[in-house]
Amino acid sequence: MAKVASKNAKVKDAKAAAESKVWTKVIRAVRSPKTGAYTFKDAIVHKDKVLEHINQK
């Protein structure tokens, strides 16, 4: 019975891994208008919308 349980667990992990490959973490350096220092903003975005997110002001 343990083999069946571990097999099912692997199937669930494989599905989650396949779905997670379409997401990307994007880190942008944003300059503060007050101090001029850079801060970093991060977001998880869909891989098709990465350039849109980077070009955002």
Q: Is residue 7 part of a domain?
A: no
Read off the pLDDT band of 3 (50, 70, 90).
Answer: low
The token duo for 43 is 């977001």
Instruction: Give the domain extent around 28.
Output: 22-57
Q: Is residue 6 part of a domain?
A: no
Q: Is residue 44 part of a domain?
A: yes
Region for 36 from its dihedrals, namely left if φ exceeds 0, alpha if ψ lies in -120 to 50, beta otherwise: left
Region for 31 from its dihedrals, namely left if φ exceeds 0, alpha if ψ lies in -120 to 50, beta otherwise: beta
Q: Is residue 39 part of a domain?
A: yes
pTM of structure: 0.59
Q: Is residue 12 part of a domain?
A: no
The pLDDT of residue 49: 93
The token duo for 32 is 């503060």
